Amino acid sequence: QITLKESGPTLLKPTQTLTLTCSLSGLSISTTGVGVGWIRQPPGKALEWLGIIYWDDDKRYSPSLKSRLTITKDSSKNQVVLTVTNLDPVDTATYYCVNGFGKNWGQGILVTVSS
């Protein structure tokens, strides 16, 4: 059974940096072909894809957010980390980590950006 679980801060101030961790179970980020992505959803709004990292450290980002995003992996801990810099209130959203292109989803973590 594959599970993904997001963790990190839930309240941040504008201009701060968000760091979220996705912990994987039943799925290894080191296995050939595996990719773990991030998707966010502002309250009451649609889904927005952020980026993905693959087992071989290949990464793809949303062009509109690329300058502010970094996705890394820690194979020893079987975790994937999302960093979002220079936060703004519009970054308030539930952040999900997903297996590949959405085959499995984490429970999500609501991150609020407010002064």
Partner 1 sequence: DVVLTQSPLSLPVTLGQPASISCTSSQRLVHSDGNTYLNWFQQRPGQSPRRLISKVSNRESGVPDRFSGSGSGTEFTLQISRVEAEDVGVYYCMQATHWPPLTFGGGTRVEIK
Residues at the contact surface with partner 1, assessed by CB under 8 A: 37, 46-49, 51, 60-64, 96, 101-103, 105-108
In the complex, least distance from residue 24 CB atom to partner 1, rounded to whole angstroms: 15
CB of 69 to partner 1, least distance (A): 11
Nearest-CA neighbor of 100 among 2, 7, 1?
A: 2
Beta-ladder partners of 74: 79
Q: Do residues 88 and 14 make contact, with C-beta atoms less than 8 angstroms apart?
A: yes
Residue with Cβ nearer partner 1 (31 or 103)? 103
Q: What angle do CA 30, 35, 36 make, to 5 degrees?
A: 105
Q: Which is nearer to partner 1, 61 or 68 (CB)?
A: 61
